Amino acid sequence: MKKVALVSVHNDPNFGSALQAYALAYAIQREGYECEYLNYTLGPAPNSIKSRIKKAAKSVLYKSGILSEPKTENSFWRTPEFKVQRELFKTFHDKRIPFSSKVYGPNTIKEANKDYDCFIVGSDQTWSPYVTKSKHTINFLDFVEPGRIKASYAPSLGTCHLEAEYIELLKEKLSGFNYLSCREKHNADLLSERFGRKVEHVLDPTLLLSREEWLMIAEPVDMPEHYILCYILGAKQCISDFAERIGKEQSLPVYYIGSRPEYLLKENALNDITPGQFITLISQADYVVTDSFHGSLFSINFQRQFYAFTKREITDGTNDNDRIRDFLTVLDISERLKEDYDYRQDLPIDYAMYDDRLKELSLSSMSYLSKLLKSYIVT
């Protein structure tokens, strides 16, 4: 039996991306199957002579001022201040996440058909209209030959506001899939209606693992017994202001994971945190304040008191705020998503009210994944 091929972001310097990639592979391996992420790049293979020459040439051109390094919202990850953090993510990736030794590119990706009979795309924002603009995306599994299993596990579209043209593109691209699922309940229902076939709503893979399974890879962090944890990916001042207000009212110190340059400068900055330490920090916090989808999910999994905010402004052209709102609505806990500058505190969450619902969703999601894997053997 060949390995299952996974198609998703699996090596980004981001706690959510790293841990969801680990979780999906772990859940599949727990079912008794071998799997690995396809190592795919649009440029030369990493560490190849061509890649090293290109990197060195760019470095010279940037330093000389002949070229200006392109700026994006995440350009700071390439700065010296985040060098150690990048290395920690790479260490986790190489140790915990299975990936192909072969590096594929646009011209060689079809060769993967020789090595795998089952292809699963997901999770993360693999079907986001903002991510799939490139004609070289492999997230629709266009390269997979007939006779092989094409499936999705919890791909996210990021937004619940889809243009009719993009829905038609999805309908065309996904028509050959044997199994279809989506991470957002709203989008799963919408696509089911538009496609004329069932698109299953399944949980993000991080929620397929129990608290005990996550603690198996948790790593120690020297922290006080009680604290508030801030994990903020955006730049909204109101989010840290809210956390500081709770800190003053509850007499609790506020700690910040160094997810952006401004948080490296905080008095209680937590710099160079491993994914294993990230798990520990959330699992032991009195409160978690976050604008992160996965920050919210881990808070719920570990039954922490948490408050979620939207990362982007509503007018932002790459708005992906709907992911958090959709899931909190499914769990009937949407009041934990705060509006900007709403500094009111809610009553503590009684997780006994939500535990059965979360277990039900986790079991149905795992049942879907198990079913598609078993069909792989039969085929």
| Residue 61 within a domain | no
Tokens 């070229």 correspond to 67
For the record, the structure tokens of 94 come out as 């190489």
pLDDT per residue over 84-126, tens digit each? 999 999 999 999 999 999 999 999 999 999 999 999 998 888 8
- Calculate the dihedral angle through the C-alpha atoms of 190, 194, 196, 199, rounding to the nearest 10 degrees: -30
Strand partners, 40: 104
Reported as type and span, the H/E element at residue 201 is: strand 200-201
> Does 355 map to a domain?
no
Are 179 and 308 members of one domain? no
Does residue 177 sit in the same domain as residue 223?
Answer: no
Measured CA to CA in angstroms, residue 256 lies from 32, 118, 182 at distances of 38, 41, 32
Residue 159's pLDDT band (cuts 50, 70, 90): confident
Torsion of CA 233, 237, 240, 246, to 10 degrees: -140
Q: Are 130 and 321 in contact (CB under 8 A)?
A: no
pLDDT digits (tens, 9 = 90+) for 30-40: 999 999 999 99
pLDDT digits (tens, 9 = 90+) for 162-210: 999 999 999 999 999 999 999 999 999 999 999 999 999 999 999 999 9
Compute the CA torsion angle 40, 258, 326, 246 (nearest 10 deg). 170
Question: What is the reported pLDDT for 318?
Answer: 47
Q: Are residues 151 and 279 in the same domain?
A: no
Assigned token pair, 357:
């619902």
Domain that holds residue 319: 219-346
Residues 268 and 373 in one domain: no
What is the rounded CA–CA span in Å between residue 177 and residue 181?
10
Residue 44 has pLDDT above 70, yes or no: no
Distance in angstroms (rounded) separating the CA atoms of residues 34 and 135: 30
CA pair distance 114, 116, nearest whole angstrom: 6
Residue 186 maps to a domain: yes
Q: Is the pLDDT of residue 316 over 50?
A: no
The CATH number of the domain holding residue 105 is 3.40.50
pLDDT of residue 65: 56
Mean pLDDT of 306-312: 91
Rounded Cα distance between 43 and 50, Å, is: 9
> In b/e form, how buried is each residue of 221-233, taking b as 16+ CB within 10 angstroms?
bebeeebbbbbbb
Let me know whether 320 and 365 are in one domain: no
353 lies in some domain: no
Contacts of residue 365, Cβ cutoff 8 Å, sequence gap at least 6: 154, 202, 203, 207, 208
Residue 297 and residue 206 in contact, taking contact as beta carbons nearer than 8 Å? yes
Q: Is residue 51 part of a domain?
A: no
Q: Is pLDDT above 80 for 284?
A: yes
DSSP 8-state secondary structure symbol assigned to residue 72: -
Whether the ω angle into residue 128 lies within 30 degrees of 0, i.e. cis, is: no
Are both 126 and 225 inside the same structural domain? no
The end-to-end CA distance of the chain, in Å, is 11
- Asked if pLDDT for residue 262 goes beyond 70, the answer is yes
Nearest to 273 by CA among 108, 86, 144, 122: 86
**Structural domains in the chain (count):** 2
Give the pLDDT band (50/70/90) at residue 317.
very low
Same domain? 319 vs 270: yes
- 77's tokens: 């990850």
What is the pLDDT, as a whole number, of residue 125?
86
Q: Report whether pLDDT(54) > 80.
A: no
Task: Tell me the H-state helices in the chain.
Answer: 15-30, 49-64, 83-96, 164-173, 185-195, 211-215, 237-250, 261-264, 275-284, 293-301, 322-330, 355-378
Average pLDDT over every residue of 10-34? 96
d(CA 13, CA 77): 8
